[in-house]
Chain A
Amino acid sequence: MLFSSVGFLFRFLPIFIIIYLMFPKYRNIVLLTGSLIFYGVGEPFFVLLLLLSVLVNYGFTRYMFWEPRYPQSNRKKKAARRRKRAIILVIALDLSVLFVFKYWDFAAGSINAAAGKGFLPLLSLALPLGISFYTFQMISYQIDCYRGTIETRAGLLSFATYICMFPQLIAGPIVRYGEVAERMEGRRVRIRDLENGLKLFTLGLGLKVLLANQIGTLWNLIMTAGAGRLHPLVAWLGAFAYSFQIYFDFWGYSVMAMGLGKMLGFSIPRNFDHPYTSRSLSEFWRRWHMTLGSWFKEYVYIPLGGSRKGNGRTICNLLVVWALTGLWHGAAWNFVLWGIVFFLLISLEKRTFGKWMEKSLVLGHVYTVLLIPVTWVIFAITDMGQLAGYLGNLVGYHREGILVGTTQLVRYLKEYGALIIACVIFATPLPVNLYWKWKDRWFVVLILLGIFWWSVREIVLGSNNPFLYFRF
């Protein structure tokens, strides 16, 4: 089930909220059951995988802190060893499940291609929804437990609820247990929380449905014509369109999660902080998908030694983090390339011009605004040949003549001009600041109501509607 669907908005959510409010004593049970239904509707088989993962992970945490009843010699030493064993095993297990479902075909295919024959079978498994997110969340919990940074470890119900809770199950943010631990054990939902949560949710819904989905059709239109024979300006337009699409899609989803969290009495951390207004790529990554960035920093970069073990080691650590960040986003070479590009640019920034860029008012913005769309193109196009063609088009290189030229450009601009302006405005902090300033005014309430119903209209008329295609 997606947040932006009629089934969620008008069936699941109202029924769930009513039951949730009716039984304040059993909130975790209600939330867990609701989340499993939410997940199970779309993934009737993988919900079992999710449950199994939760149980196994919980078992490992118990094992990690298991205290034998009878006295033992060198008890502390044994306990430390057991903890280490448990944490290594559980992380390996979690990652191997992720690997089998997400990366096996990619790895096997690459090895087969390198070897020139097919000795590794391809599994062609479907990817369980949200597996990258919940696996990382479980690993963060295990490591936090191992390190002892969690004061009271979760019981089975709390743990299962924490992993499965539907606001952040399928697309993050990656919430750390410490951030919600207090609320897991008992939470109050005030009437203001419902109001503010629903407002936030509506805002996110609008970002996803009215901005991301709409601008996405422009990118689709340009890609439909085909990469490789685009006029440079068309290619840039496409790159910007995709940058907006991915940002508003993801940001919208995160804001919806925050809103839902609020309605349920949680405070889910912010995931985006106007990344497109950054002045360097390092800053961009401090503001883009913040929970993933801090996950990699906390659990990979710093344990590897961070930047404290000399320059060579720092570069090496950065490379590992960025290659993994790339791979986390998808199992294909273009994602690895995408990660590596960030690695190169960010290490370059750190060594040379980064500080300077972040100080300058204009240059830093120009630099990020031009470079980030290029990185998104690498992210978007999985086929290496096409990717090379598109990147060539961006700088005006064409192997064959231009097919999509100024005529189409004018048509695209006419059709999408207003939307592009709206996207640019929403990429700045202005609308959000105004929202926080005026959020309780009556006209904001009316605007939000308009956004809500306009989004619903788009959802019903769009792909969710089997009756009206009218898209070709």
Chain B
Amino acid sequence: MNRNKIRTFLEIIYNCPFVLLVIFTSVVFLIFFDGTEGREDGKNVAALRMIEEKSPAKENDITDKEEQKEDSSIVEEVQKPKEQGEKDVKNAGTRKENTIGIKKDLKCKTDNKSAEISGKQEKEKKHATEFVEYTPIETDSRYYSDAGKIALTTVYDYVLENESYFNDAAFLGDSRTLGISDYAGLEGADFFCDNGMTIYKLLEDDGVTYQKTGEKVDMKEILQEKHYGKIYIMLGMNELGYGDTPMYLRQYLKVIRQIKEWQPGVIIYVMANLHVSQEKNNMETEFNNININDKNVASARLANGSDVFYLDCNPLFTDEEGYLLAELTFDGVHLYAQHYDKWRDFLFAHGVEREEIQQTEGSGQTETSGVPGDS
């Protein structure tokens, strides 16, 4: 009897090695990695912790106390809307669908208003990045909260430029920037971008593809060796489900400060992340315009109107509710190639002339003035 049992057991092993191997490896994975989802979760948490640990240390490196204060206040302010949102919980449910509409209505009105204001009080308003407020909705996500406001393009006396303006420009970004690289026809500019690029990966060793050569390069080296007149950054899409907004802002701040250190006198454009289409907008996940707007508002706080500017291209491509227009996109996220013309014209229209910066910034920038970069 016992022998028979052993025989059947051996038969099973002989007859179905694959089933047994799959079961065995699954069990091993379950034991050591605590389930597939847990495994990913763990990985993610570890990554977050690494970044969390890194960032405060970096902030201490910087000796300028005022800047540090400014930073912490910025980060704190970003965290505030979260609390406000929590207070609003009671009547948030019904508002969910309407708010986005209200948001953009507001936006259109204030766009006109801000134009008027900037006409009247040009000098005082010159460097401001304005925010339009609305009542935030309740969000239940550890990745974002509703910012409760929309950031507008930094008010400034922009100059209409042509292609030569981009001869000393660098673009850092994700797949949308890749689109600008491919289809906007800015031949003079340097593009450093990849699908899936994030603000966290940007300064990693050999982290980014230089589009002119198609090779991976080290952004740290490039920024230290080559001098650029302006740097355009657009990152935030791949961060939607990775860390929360304050963490994103901290990292963004770190990157910008690093760039300023390496590239004295550079003009930095923080570009808004383009919203997604209504079809793609998903409130169940982190992949929605509220989250994108949260990231945009956070990054807009970095704009100071003297050497950092926030550009919001969303009004060009979105409907009145803030959704990316369906006819401009195949996948709800990226523009068709032919529409990058519009984006290019928008960039042309937002040139910042160096002399003005010198006036507003004062001393300390003179050695780099007028240098169009060595590209």
Chain B residues whose C-beta falls within 8 Å of the C-beta of A229 in the assembled complex: 337-338
Q: How far is the CB of A59 from chain B (nearest CB, A)?
A: 38
- What number of A residues sit within 8 Å (CB to CB) of B? 40
Q: Which residue of A192, A199, A469, A472 is within 8 Å of B176 (Cβ)?
A: A472
| Contact, CB under 8 Å: B330 / A226 | yes
> Which residues 278-294 in B have Cβ within 8 Å of A in the complex?
285-287
Given contacts A226-B336, A404-B182, A466-B285, contact A198 B330 (CB under 8 A): no
A467 contact from B23, B41, B182, B183, Cβ within 8 A: B41
CB atoms of A225 and B336 under 8 A apart? yes
B242: which of A224, A226, A469 is its contact (CB, 8 Å)?
Answer: A469
For the complex, give the distance between the alpha carbons of A448 and B25 in Å.
13
Q: Does B286 contact A195, Cβ atoms closer than 8 Å?
A: no
Chain A's closest residue to B274 (CB) is A472
Determine whether the beta carbon of B331 is less than 8 Å from that of A224: yes
Give, as a whole number of angstroms, the nearest-CB distance from A216 to chain B. 11
Contacts A404-B182, A453-B25, A456-B36: A471 and B238 contacting too (C-beta < 8 A)? yes
Q: Does B119 contact A (CB under 8 A)?
A: no
Distance (Å) between the CB of B12 and the closest chain A CB? 6
Q: Does B196 contact A (CB under 8 A)?
A: yes
B33-70 interface with A by 8 A CB criterion:
36-37, 39-41, 44
Q: Is A469 within 8 A of B237, CB to CB?
A: yes
Cβ of B231 under 8 Å from chain A? no
Q: Which residue of the partner chain, among A191, A453, A467, contacts B241 with CB atoms under 8 Å?
A: A467
CA–CA, A400 and B337, complex, Å: 12
Of listed B17, B18, B39, B41, residue having the most chain A CB within 10 A: B18
* A449 in complex: contacting residue of B18, B40, B330, B337, CB < 8 Å: B18
Contact status A220-B331, CB under 8 Å? yes
CB of A194 closer than 8 Å to a CB of B: yes
Contact among A191, A404, A469, A471 for B337, CB-based, below 8 A: A404
Minimum CB–CB distance for B333 against chain A, Å = 6
Contact residue range for chain B? 35 or more
Closest to B198 in A: A470
A403 touches B183 (CB 8 A): yes
Mask, A222-248, CB within 8 Å of B = 1, is 011110110000000000000000000
Complex Cα gap A403–B182 (Å): 8
Instruction: Report whether A191 and B16 are in contact in the complex, using a CB–CB cutoff of 8 Å.
Output: yes
User: When each residue 192-229 of chain A gets 1 if its CB lies under 8 Å from chain B and 0 otherwise, what string results?
Assistant: 10110011001000000000000000001001111011
A370 interface residue (CB < 8 Å to B): no
Given contact pairs A192-B15, A404-B337, A223 touches B40 in the complex (Cβ within 8 A):
no
Cα-based distance from A10 to B333 in the complex (angstroms): 32
Report the bound CA distance from A465 to B346 in whole Å.
Answer: 35
- Which residues of chain B are near A449, meaning CB under 8 Å? 18, 21-22, 25
Q: Name which residue of chain A comes closest to B39, CB basis.
A: A460
Q: DSSP majority for the B interface?
A: helix
Asked if A70 lies at the interface with its beta carbon under 8 angstroms from chain B, I say no
Contact with B along A319-335 (1 / 0, CB 8 A): 00000000000000000
Judge if B174 is at the interface, Cβ distance under 8 Å.
yes
Q: Is the CB of B238 within 8 A of A472?
A: yes
A contact residues around B39 at 8 Å (CB): 460
Alpha-carbon distance between A223 and B336 when the two chains are bound, in angstroms: 8
Chain B nearest Cβ from A258, distance in angstroms: 16
A15 CB to nearest chain B CB (Å)? 13
Q: Does B344 contact A (CB under 8 A)?
A: no
- With A223-B331, A225-B183, A408-B182 in contact, is A448–B196 under 8 Å at CB? no
B254 touches A (CB below 8 Å): no
Among A194, A449, A460, A470, max chain B CB count under 10 A is at A470
B residues near A225, Cβ cutoff 8 Å: 179, 182-183, 336-337
Which residues of chain A from 442 to 472 have a CB within 8 Å of any chain B CB?
442, 445, 448-449, 452-453, 456, 460, 465-472
Residue of B nearest to A401 (CB): B338
- Residue of B at shortest CB range from A383? B327
Question: Which residues of chain A are near B198, meaning CB under 8 Å?
Answer: 470
The complex places the Cα of A400 from the Cα of B336 at a distance, in Å, of 14
Query: Cβ of B21 and Cβ of A223 under 8 Å apart?
Result: no
The answer to the question of A411 belonging to the interface, with a C-beta cut-off of 8 Å to chain B, is yes
- In the complex with contacts A191-B12, A225-B183, A408-B182, A472-B36 CB distance below 8 A: no
Beta-carbon contact of A191 and B15 below 8 Å: yes
The distance from the CB of B51 to the nearest CB of chain A, in whole angstroms, is 14
Q: Which of A442, A465, A469 contacts B196 (CB 8 A)?
A: A469
Q: Which residues of A contact B25 (CB under 8 A)?
A: 449, 453
Quick one: closest B residue to A410, CB to CB?
Answer: B214
Interface membership of A6, Cβ < 8 A: yes
Query: Quick one: CB contact mask for B228-260 with A, threshold 8 Å, 1 for yes?
Result: 000000000110111000000000000000000
CB of B242 within 8 A of CB of A223, answer no
Beyond A220-B331, A456-B36, A471-B195, whether A442 also contacts B182 by CB under 8 A is no
Instruction: Give A168 Cβ to nearest chain B Cβ, in Å.
Output: 22
- In the complex, the chain A residue whose C-beta lies closest to that of B37 is A6
B31 interface hit (Cβ, 8 Å): no
In the complex, the answer to whether A198 meets B18 with C-beta atoms within 8 Å is: yes
Residue pair A471, B196 in contact (C-beta under 8 Å): yes
Instruction: Tell me the minimal C-beta distance from B322 to chain A in angstroms.
Output: 18
User: Chain A contacts of B135 at CB under 8 A?
Assistant: none
Q: Do B183 and A199 touch across chains, with their CB atoms under 8 A apart?
A: no
Q: Which residues of B contact A226 (CB under 8 A)?
A: 330, 336-338
User: Can you list 12 residue pairs at the A/B interface with Cβ under 8 Å?
Assistant: A10-B36, A191-B11, A220-B330, A225-B183, A400-B338, A403-B183, A466-B241, A467-B41, A470-B196, A471-B196, A472-B195, A472-B196
Interface residues of A (CB under 8 A from B): 6, 10, 14, 191-192, 194-195, 198-199, 202, 220, 223-226, 228-229, 400, 403-404, 407-408, 411, 414, 442, 445, 448-449, 452-453, 456, 460, 465-472
**Known contacts A194-B19, A198-B22, A224-B330; 17 further A-B pairs (Cβ under 8 A):** A10-B36, A191-B15, A192-B15, A220-B330, A220-B331, A225-B179, A229-B337, A229-B338, A403-B183, A452-B22, A466-B286, A467-B41, A467-B44, A467-B241, A468-B44, A469-B237, A470-B198
